[in-house]
Amino acid sequence: MATAAADVVGSKIEKIFNALDTDRDGHIDWSDFQRLIDGFTAEYRLNRNDRRTMALHASYAMFWQELVRHADADGDGRLSKDEYIAASRNAILDTSRFDAVNGLTHAQFDLIDIDGDNQISQSEFNKMSTLWGIAEPEMKESFQALDTDGDGHISRSELIRASREFFLSNDPSAPGSILFGRV
């Protein structure tokens, strides 16, 4: 008897849903993304006119529009967990209007790289991880997995690769699969 393969990608996207749904109403709407952006802005002590804040806001706004386009059939401006997972899959694969993986990753990298040296240190990674609700023991493990060349930093290309693996790979042992902690 054959068993169905685990839906690792769906589980990873569900983890993002749970982190975004900070008001715990069981739905994602724009206000959930705005709270995430506000959290980053406060944590990194940026104002709304900072280029990094504006890039992050623009990237999430584009992603939100793609999510709504792909799954908000009833037009209520919010997505249930199942709608969010389906919409995320579709928005990630459909790069015709917005390449969500690259757009969001570049915007987040620029924010996370506090000292502007074009690489993310363990402490910079930990700061970002805390905002996403990643448990402290997982932060070091995730960082080491994402630092694929072992140089003690995560480069922009390593983060982009990890983001692609997170959203596209059903392999739970792929480094990017633990970008936001273990599933």
Domain CATH code at residue 119: 1.10.238.10
75 and 119 part of one domain: no
Burial 70-88 (b: 16+ CB within 10 A, else e): bbbeeeeebbeeebbbbbb
Alpha-carbon distance of 146 to 162, in angstroms, equals 6
- 65 domain residue, yes or no: yes
| pTM confidence score | 0.90
- 69 domain residue, yes or no: yes
- 16 domain residue, yes or no: no
84 and 145 part of one domain: no
* pLDDT for residue 5: 58
**Mean pLDDT of each 10-residue bin along the chain, 183 residues long:** 71 94 95 94 92 96 95 90 95 92 95 94 90 84 94 96 94 90 80
* pLDDT for residue 180: 85
- 3 domain residue, yes or no: no
Alpha-carbon distance of 5 to 7, in angstroms, equals 6
31 and 98 part of one domain: yes
Task: Report whether 87 contacts 70 (CB < 8 A).
Answer: yes
Closest CA to 138 of 183, 182, 171: 182
Contacts of 133 (CB under 8 A, 6+ apart): 19
80 and 35 part of one domain: yes
Task: Report whether 109 contacts 159 (CB < 8 A).
Answer: yes
- 77 domain residue, yes or no: yes
- 56 domain residue, yes or no: yes
Task: Report whether 27 contacts 74 (CB < 8 A).
Answer: no
* 82, 102, 122 - which closes a domain: 102
Q: How many domains does the chain have?
A: 2
Q: How many secondary structure helices (H) and strands (E) does the chain include?
A: 8, 4
* 102, 121, 156 - which closes a domain: 102
- 160 domain residue, yes or no: yes
* pLDDT for residue 128: 87
Domain that holds residue 167: 113-177
- Nearest-5° Cα angle at 135, 30 to 41: 40
* pLDDT for residue 73: 83
Alpha-carbon distance of 92 to 101, in angstroms, equals 6
- 47 domain residue, yes or no: yes
* pLDDT for residue 148: 95
Task: Report whether 180 contacts 166 (CB < 8 A).
Answer: yes
164 and 131 part of one domain: yes
Q: Look at the block and give the residue holding tokens 């932060």.
A: 139
